[in-house]
Amino acid sequence: MSIEAGWPQAYGRIVRDSVESTNAEAIRLAPTLTQPTWILSHHQTAARGRSGREWASPKGNFAATLVMKPTGTAGWASLRSFMAANAVFETLALHVRRSRLSLKWPNDVLLDNGKVAGILLESASLGDRIEWLAIGIGVNLSHTPGGVRDAAFPPVAVGEAIDVETFLTELAGFYATEEAILTEFGFTPIREKWLRHAARLGEVITARTQTDEITGRFETVNEAGHLVLSTPHGERRIAAADVYF
Ligand SMILES: O=C(O)CCCC[C@@H]1SC[C@@H]2NC(=O)N[C@@H]21
């Protein structure tokens, strides 16, 4: 483990050539870790996406998981998906024009309206106490994954050979800033920053939950991180869904 200049203090870093999934690796290592730790792998053989989907993770694309033992409730810990999305946005903005980037609730990053990055949170709790949280982040840097899984948001890539270890150092720095903001000021400024980059804010969008499809005006994301839509039947607050424009 070599730590380079610019790496945020208090965070560990593990780099692997190939693993099944950096989230699986993070969960395996969680009991032994004494500090929040980033696990980067140059290649994943069984990367996982949200809702049990697969995630293509060829060499040249970015795949890493931050594993930590946060204090507070599981709900509070899950707000870190917005912090991760903000940090990925800022990191990508070092490499492409900011105006090409946007954020899609809950935590996708879009480049020219295609999906360039996805975030998968996994956690374990004991009662209301969270034991560990794994924030898995995949970014299509060099390669556009084949096999369009979501026709509304086809995968896109930055299309540049960006060194993944350099990308991790940049990302870890931005993420550490988000943690500092959460500690000092709470979720409000993080939520406000996320909303400044939100795709389709104020427009009519559709949220598909496991049981329901809700179409309404995208009003905001509330302090719990829930999507708020105004519909002809009143305001709906949605905790988990896939969003379509
Ligand atoms: O479905 C999504 O949008 C989330 C994709 C998350 C993929 C990343 S790649 C690094 C980490 N390891 C995994 O197995 N998944 C996440």
Q: What does the domain layout of the chain look like in residue ranges?
A: 12-196, 204-244
* Cα dihedral 178/179/181/186 (nearest 10): 120
Confidence class of residue 148 from pLDDT cuts 50, 70 and 90?
Answer: low
Q: What is the pTM of this model?
A: 0.95
Question: Which atom number of ligand 1 is nearest to the Cα of residue 47?
Answer: 14
In the reported structure, the alpha carbon of residue 32 is separated from the centroid of ligand 1 by a whole-number distance in angstroms of 22
CATH 2.40.340.10 fits 204-244, yes or no: no
CATH 3.30.450.40 fits 12-196, yes or no: no
In the reported structure, the alpha carbon of residue 234 is separated from the centroid of ligand 1 by a whole-number distance in angstroms of 34
Summarize pLDDT for 40-54 with one digit per residue, the tens: 999 999 999 998 889
- Token readout for 30 is 């969680």
- Tell me which residue of 131, 98, 128, 95 sits closest to 112, measured CA to CA: 98
In the reported structure, the alpha carbon of residue 49 is separated from the centroid of ligand 1 by a whole-number distance in angstroms of 5
Summarize pLDDT for 84-136 with one digit per residue, the tens: 999 999 999 999 999 999 999 999 999 999 999 999 999 999 888 899 999 99
In the reported structure, the alpha carbon of residue 138 is separated from the centroid of ligand 1 by a whole-number distance in angstroms of 5
- Tell me which residue of 148, 171, 179, 146 sits closest to 62, measured CA to CA: 171
204-244 has the same fold as 12-196: no
Query: Per-residue pLDDT for 149 more than 70?
Result: no
Q: Output the average pLDDT for the chain.
A: 94
Question: Which atom number of ligand 1 is nearest to the Cα of residue 50?
Answer: 1
**From atom 15 of ligand 1, which residue's Cα is the shortest distance away?**
48
Q: Is the CB of 91 under 6 A from ligand 1?
A: no
